Amino acid sequence: ESPAVLAQTAGIDSRQIIRLNANENPYGPSPKVKESLGKCETYHIYPDAYQHTARKALANYTGLPAEDILVGSGSDELIDLLLRATIDPGDKVINCPPTFGMYSFSTYVNGGTLLSVPRNHEFEVNLDGIKKVIDDKTKIVFLTSPNNPTGNLVSRDTVLDLLDENILVVIDETYFEFCQQTLAPLVESHPNLVVLRTMSKWAGLAGLRIGYGIMAPDMLSMLMDIKQPYNMNVAAEVALISSLSDLPYLKSN
């Protein structure tokens, strides 16, 4: 339920509620975001379908080329786009529960068959189990690092091992800013790797829907072709740029 509904049920002010289940940031966004949203004068103009400014700012932030970066309406949209681009009905997608729910949700919506390879008793990914279920119909494996809800990192060796299989490996690095460990530089040498990031959690922008994917240009151009042209709205772009100009504040939160 939304904070407004919960507040009504509990008979308290909605500002007193911090929902923990969605990992929203209780500190909210940078104050610079509110300021720049108030000053923006281009709300009547469609956003840039190619996202030039946003991708350049994210290139500067990540240290990777803008040609490798695509913005989504949240990383949730990118999960859906990757599945749309990659699977036909009946194709298989590997999921490693307990984990984030959108991989299975969007697999089903796109007509995929979900192969569940549960994590072990320490919530580590079961690499042998994953490799055992890969066949001609298996197109994607989703791995979250650090994992939601268990916090485990996926090792570089595990990812390199899976990149040798002929499938798309998606590493969801939503919580990168909390651990500072990333495999994103590997996209330069591995066309079947996609790394997902988001402004929703560390930057407190869940309500404005700004995620991004880091991937080789071939994969990126496929997603660019099938995404809705204006998937990143003007307010989202403004909020992204001003957040990236206020890193010390956000990191101190």
Ligand X SMILES: *Cc1c(COP(=O)(O)O)cnc(C)c1O
Q: Which stretch binds ligand X (CB under 6 A): 46-54, 70-78, 123-131, 229-237?
A: 70-78
Under rule CB under 6 A, residue 148 binds ligand X: yes
Q: Which stretch binds ligand X (CB under 6 A): 10-18, 46-54, 120-128, 198-206?
A: 198-206
CB 134 within 8 A of CB 155: no
Under rule CB under 6 A, residue 206 binds ligand X: yes
Q: If we measure between CA atoms, which residue out of 176, 182, 201 comes closest to residue 253? A: 201
Under rule CB under 6 A, residue 100 binds ligand X: yes
Under rule CB under 6 A, residue 172 binds ligand X: yes
Under rule CB under 6 A, residue 198 binds ligand X: yes
Q: How far is the CB of 140 from ligand X (least distance, A)?
A: 15
Under rule CB under 6 A, residue 23 binds ligand X: yes
Distance CA 207, CA 3 (A): 13
Q: How many residues bind ligand X (CB under 6 A)?
A: 14
The β-bridge partners of 168 are 140
- Tell me whether residue 85 or residue 206 sits nearer to ligand X (CB atom): 206
Under rule CB under 6 A, residue 150 binds ligand X: no
- Tell me whether residue 86 or residue 147 sits nearer to ligand X (CB atom): 147
Contact set with ligand X (CB under 6 A): 23, 74-76, 100, 144, 148, 172, 174, 198, 200-201, 206, 211
